[in-house]
Amino acid sequence: MLHFYNTLTRQQEHFTPGEIIRFYTCGPTVYDYAHIGNFRAYVFEDLLQRHLEARGNTVNRVMNLTDVDDKTIRGARREGMLLQEYTARYKKAFFEDCDALRLRPATSYPAATDPENIAAMIAMIQTLVEKGHAYQAEDHSVYFRIASFPRYGQLAHVDLDAQRSSKRIKNDEYTKEEIADFALWKAWNQEDDAASWESPWGPGRPGWHIECSAMATRLLGDTIDIHCGGVDNMFPHHEAEIAQCECVSGRTFARLWMHCAHLMVDGMKMAKSAGNFYTVRDLMKRSWSGREIRYVLLSVHYRMPLNFTMEGLEAARHSLYRIDEWIRRLEEFIQHAADSAPIIKKETCFTTLEDFFIALDDDLNISAALAVLFDVIRESHRLLDQEILSHNEAMALLDWWHRVDSILAITPDSHPKEIPKNVQQLVSLRYKARAAKNWIESDRLRDAIKAHGWIIKDTKNEQKLLPQESNS
RNA sequence: GGCGAGGUAGCCAAGUGGUAAGGCUGGGCUCUGCAAAAGCCCCAUUCGUCGGUUCGAUUCCGACCCUCGCCUCCA
């Protein structure tokens, strides 16, 4: 039974999936490399999708790409590039980073500037204007009339009347009926350069919120099952999406809203000025691998603030090695051990395997799920040590692991690195040295091999070579 | 000021009205010529503080302290 915390109701609710789960996730604004805070949200969404799929559901997930807004226009201008060229660069980078973090691709990645999306946005705005939910102001921009949608503020539990009287908000936009009214269509101005589309209200570009509303409903229908994002998108972005969609369709926009908490770095908000601002590629340059970054982002419950540190990455690395070693040992056991090992009662061991998935059913309780994994790892080592694990049981464990890893996606890359010739030579030299019990030479060669990026593990009758973790 | 999240061992982090999962670090041991990114074992009388309810609270209630986030376009 799936159970998720719904931001809308502030409660855990049963989630009953339909035939296809319609899932919308707010994607990046492609004006720069996405940072690990952004990716925390995407990893959380990936975990959710993978778990839903592991539970046998079909997920139709849409992630938008915001490729026109103030920042993209400014960036293109600064670099003297066309907007499309500029955003193409960061779209490409975004997908590279997604691959590095092993994010499952969404079903589609609509971009705001796709003609069919611009058309959908204009159609929505038109309907809103016709129904009296929107108006064109003196500056030629079109705004959503908050006063026409009493439920506005419901998701974030924001009381707009209180906001209105707040001193913090300066009424410096005189053209809007109310300060909180937000732009649906922004009239063109000089600084927009070529970022302009024709509309019934004159040339201009879409507002941010209408993008998501139009793309979500165009691709997934009026009512979607799950809508995710970071907490900071709750207000006003998601609030605005609800207002727009529900005023157009008259139906509930999203049944379930899920928001992940912020990521912090070294206990502080990540900021370029604080020098603690990381992109995925920054970390990979420092030789952290995608799966290590993924593990850190994955291993803290999504509704808890995540404190990202180098120590955390280090811990992730060691945890992953331990998992690697366990898989390696199981595989080796299956290969080498004939089915002569004594059969023990299967049922008495590993009764907790399903608990991994049951933990995730409970609002993605990843900590409890990982605890199951590590318990199983320890227990199977014990049984292997005692030589009472059966061949069949080892196969069953490996099978289980494949199901688990279809969610976690943390196995090392399946293509082992080619061992360079010079390293192979050093290894064979070391073999001879060891046969002659020349330990000084053996140790020297071990260091030499390590300098080439390979770690040696001596076992009873062979030298095992393992690549030091690098970008993978 | 308004709204919200959180304070559990050196660090990260689950959880429950009945006496504290898991990971990392550390210590011990096994293996090893020595090693190791190997394996096993051990490591919180205690869950921010102070009261209350209770046979019993880390878990429920109240107050207080601290940290963090959002409050109009930052995931």
User: Do residue A366 and residue A391 come from a single domain?
Assistant: yes
User: Do residue A319 and residue A217 come from a single domain?
Assistant: no
What is the enclosing helix (H) or strand (E) of A223?
none
DSSP letter, residue A401: H
Contact A128, A206 (CB under 8 A): no
User: Do residue A258 and residue A337 come from a single domain?
Assistant: no
Q: How far is the CA of A375 from the C1' of B55 (A)?
A: 35
Q: Which of residues 147-176 of A touch strand B (CB under 7 A)?
A: 156-160, 162-163, 166, 168-169
Q: Is residue A321 part of a domain?
A: yes
What is the edge-to-edge ordering of all strands in the sheet holding A183-187? A134-136, A142-144, A183-187, A204-206
Overall domain count for chain A:
3
User: Do residue A329 and residue A462 come from a single domain?
Assistant: no
Predicted pLDDT at A165: 44
Cβ of residue A105 near strand B, that is under 7 Å? no
Chain B: nucleotides below 7 Å from protein CB are 1-6, 11-15, 21-25, 32-41, 67-75
Q: Is residue A227 part of a domain?
A: yes
User: Do residue A325 and residue A255 come from a single domain?
Assistant: no
Residues contacting residue A73 through CB under 8 Å, at least 6 positions apart: A83, A191, A192, A193, A195
Report helix, strand or coil for A308: strand
Contact A216, A24 (CB under 8 A): yes
CATH number at residue A74: 3.40.50.620
> Is residue A121 exposed (0-12), middle (13-18) or buried (19+ Cβ within 10 Å)?
buried
User: Which residues constitute the domain of residue A112?
Assistant: 2-132+149-154+206-281
Q: Give the tokens for residue A115.
A: 């003609």
CA–centroid distance for A341 within its chain: 42
User: Do residue A105 and residue A250 come from a single domain?
Assistant: yes
Q: Give the tokens for residue A209.
A: 């919120």
Q: Which of residues 246-285 of A touch strand B (CB under 7 A)?
A: 260-264, 267-270
Contact A81, A72 (CB under 8 A): no
Q: How far is the CA of A324 from the C1' of B15 (A)?
A: 28
Q: Give the tokens for residue A377.
A: 């790892």
User: Do residue A398 and residue A426 come from a single domain?
Assistant: no
User: Do residue A92 and residue A233 come from a single domain?
Assistant: yes
Q: Which of A101, A25, A60 lies closest to A260 in space, CA to CA?
A: A25
User: How far is residue A444's CA from residue A449's CA, in Å, rounded to a whole number?
Assistant: 9
User: Do residue A437 and residue A380 come from a single domain?
Assistant: no
Report helix, strand or coil for A23: strand
Q: Is residue A413 part of a domain?
A: no
User: Do residue A120 and residue A216 come from a single domain?
Assistant: yes
DSSP letter, residue A415: S
Q: DSSP letters along A190-222, please?
A: GGGTT--B--TT-SEEE-HHHHHHHHHHHHH-S
Q: How many CA atoms lie within 13 A of A261 on its CB side?
A: 13
User: How far is residue A413's CA from residue A324's CA, in Å, rounded to a whole number?
Assistant: 11
Fill in the amino acid letter for A187.
Answer: A
User: Do residue A10 and residue A122 come from a single domain?
Assistant: yes
User: Each residue's pLDDT tens digit in chain A (472 positions)?
Assistant: 899 999 988 888 999 999 999 999 999 999 999 999 999 999 999 999 999 999 999 999 999 999 999 999 999 999 999 999 999 999 999 999 999 999 999 999 999 999 999 999 999 999 999 999 999 998 899 999 998 998 888 888 776 665 554 433 444 445 788 888 899 999 999 889 889 999 999 999 999 999 999 999 999 999 999 999 998 888 889 999 999 999 999 999 999 999 999 898 887 777 776 677 899 999 999 889 999 999 999 999 999 989 999 999 999 999 999 999 999 899 988 887 765 555 554 444 688 899 999 999 999 999 999 999 999 999 999 998 888 888 888 999 999 999 999 999 999 876 566 788 888 888 888 988 888 888 888 889 988 888 888 888 887 777 888 777 654 4
Q: Is residue A344 part of a domain?
A: yes
User: Do residue A229 and residue A355 come from a single domain?
Assistant: no
